[in-house]
Structures are given as structure tokens and as C-alpha cells.
Structure 1
Amino acid sequence: MTRTIIAQGTFDILHPGHVHYLEEAAAMGDELVVIVARKANVDHKETPICPAKQRRDVVDALEPVDRAILGHEEDIFVPIEAIDPDVIALGHDQHHDESAIEDELERREIECVVKRASAREPTADSEILSTRHIIDRILERRD
């Protein structure tokens, strides 16, 4: 029996923190499906710079990822219902409320667990593990 894991995120500018998250998520099961958020669903931070299909294609090319798909524009649980995962893996710093996700999964009769990936500390002083910090650095240097 295949154990399916869902990871999700914006993945606007990929960095080692994203890779760590996806490697940990992949290690939780046999198949990793990544749901890449559409711009309409990104309301907790600045909207993505890169188009959704581009972000999906880049995530899909990563070794730990078996398949990357675009999220549903109106209901983020639609792809979760279709995939019927065993685990939803959240990034260590993602804004999601685990108990609210669990309540919605139960309401929709989707039997899976929600787990958080661990944080990854920078391995060098110059390593940046945040899309926002990468953008800030670009703006600072190009200003």
C-alpha cells in the first residue's frame, strides 16, 4: 500500500529551506505530491513574483517530488479530497493552523494526519532560507 504525502506552499523563489521541507515530507511516505498555491490563495504575504505554472514546473523538477500540481483557486481542500493523502506535511514556519486543518479534514471525511517538518538552520553565514529575505537582499543590493 502506497503512503501518499501532500506538501504545499507558494515556492516563489526556491531556496534550501524549501528543499529541506520537501525532503522531510518525502521521507514521511512513498509518494510526495506538492500543491503549489495559486496567486489568489496567497493572502498571508506578498503575492508571488513568478507565475503559478512556472513555480509548479520548478517544484516538479526537484528530486524528492513525485508530482507537483496547482492548487484550486477557490477551495484549497479540493485537491486534497482528490488525492486522499495519508499525511499533510506542513513547513515548520507555515502560517497554517493545524487544528483548523484537522477539523476541516474531519468535516470532509478525509482520513489523514497533519505533521510539521522541522526547521533547517543556515549552514553558512551567507545562506538565506527565506524568500522574503532573498527579495530584501536583492532590493538592498539593486537600490
Structure 2
Amino acid sequence: MTTVVAQGTFDILHPGHVHYLSDAASMGDELHVIVARGQNVTHKPDPILPDRQRREMVAALGVVDEAHLGHSEDIFVPIERIDPDVIVLGYDQHHDEDGLARALRARDIDCEIRRASARESEADELCSTGRIVERILERRC
């Protein structure tokens, strides 16, 4: 059995998230998703939705076998617990693949790192939480 891990913030689920997780699920037999805790999100604005709600939304997706909240202090704790064969990064996630590989080796975590494919978007489709928030502000404010 091939265990796959995908991770992200997953704030306001959109078709890009669904594509990423579907693509990740196709790379193995079991998909575990680690949902970042809001306090650990430093590369973009704080999530709008609470941690638990984002985890529950991800868990409700049919392609996800288990959804976990990330560790509050050490992002590698859930990865060590899950012991994946593959970690799938989103096609546009900010991670440094070489740095991640070194960190995994330093912790004796032996797994492959792959990138998910990009999703072909329709012209009117919003595949970004930031763009969804902008649209809400444009139309509601």
C-alpha cells in the first residue's frame, strides 16, 4: 500500500484544492491531508476559517482518507506519525523541494517528493482563496 501526504492551509475550499487533493490521491492508495494550523501560516494572510473547520471540510472530501491538523510547533510531527511513501506538494506551493528533502532525511523519513499538476481553469472560475476574498469584498462592500 502506498501512503500519500498532501498538506496546505485549505482556507475557503475551491476547485484548485479539489484538483490538488484528487491528483495527490491518484499517486497512491491512501491519502492523508495535513491542514496547517493558522498560527503556522506565515507566507500569506491568516486563514479566515478556524483550524478545526478547515480540517473538517477537507475530511469531507471523498478523495481524502484522513485529515489531520498540523502540529503547533513542529510541522514534521504528523509526517513522522503517518510515515508516508510520497509527499505531494501543490504545483504552486512555496516549498523548497531540496530543503524539504534534506529535512526529511535528517529525521530518517524516507519518502518521495512529487508536485501535483496545475489545474486548467475556466475563465470565470476562482481557484485562489485570495481571489475569492477579493470578489466577496468587491461585491459585498
Distance in 2 of aligned mates of 1:98 and 1:73: 22
In the alignment, which residue of structure 2 is the partner of 1:97? 96
In the alignment, which residue of structure 2 is the partner of 1:136? 134
In the alignment, which residue of structure 2 is the partner of 1:5? 4
Large movers: runs of 4+ above 6 Å: none
Q: CA RMSD in A?
A: 0.6
Task: Determine helix, strand or coil for the equivalent of 1:89.
Answer: strand
Distance in 1 of aligned mates of 2:40 and 2:105: 22
- How far did residue 126 of structure 1 move? 1.2
Instruction: Describe the superposition over 1:7-41 as per-residue Cα deviations: whole angstroms up to 9, x where unpaired.
Output: 00000100000000000000000000000000111
1:74 lines up with 2:84 in the alignment: no
Task: Determine helix, strand or coil for the equivalent of 1:33.
Answer: strand
1:87 lines up with 2:86 in the alignment: yes
In the alignment, which residue of structure 2 is the partner of 1:24? 23
Distance in 2 of aligned mates of 1:73 and 1:121: 34
Can you give the 5+ residue segments of structure 1 that lack an aligned partner in the other structure?
none
In the alignment, which residue of structure 1 is the partner of 2:50? 51
Task: Determine helix, strand or coil for the equivalent of 2:34.
Answer: strand
Q: Partner amino acid for 2:7?
A: Q
Q: Partner amino acid for 1:110?
A: I
Q: Partner amino acid for 2:50?
A: P
Q: How many pairs does the alignment contain?
A: 141
Can you give the 5+ residue segments of structure 2 that lack an aligned partner in the other structure?
none
Instruction: Describe the superposition over 1:31-67 as per-residue Cα deviations: whole angstroms up to 9, x where unpaired.
Output: 0000000011100000001000000000000010000
**TM-score of the two chains, using structure 1 as the length reference:** 0.97
Task: Determine helix, strand or coil for the equivalent of 2:133.
Answer: helix
TM alignment of 1:96-115, pairs within 5 A: 96-115=95-114
**TM-score of the two chains, using structure 2 as the length reference:** 0.98
Instruction: Describe the superposition over 1:78-128 as per-residue Cα deviations: whole angstroms up to 9, x where unpaired.
Output: 0001111000000011111111110000000100011000111212x2111
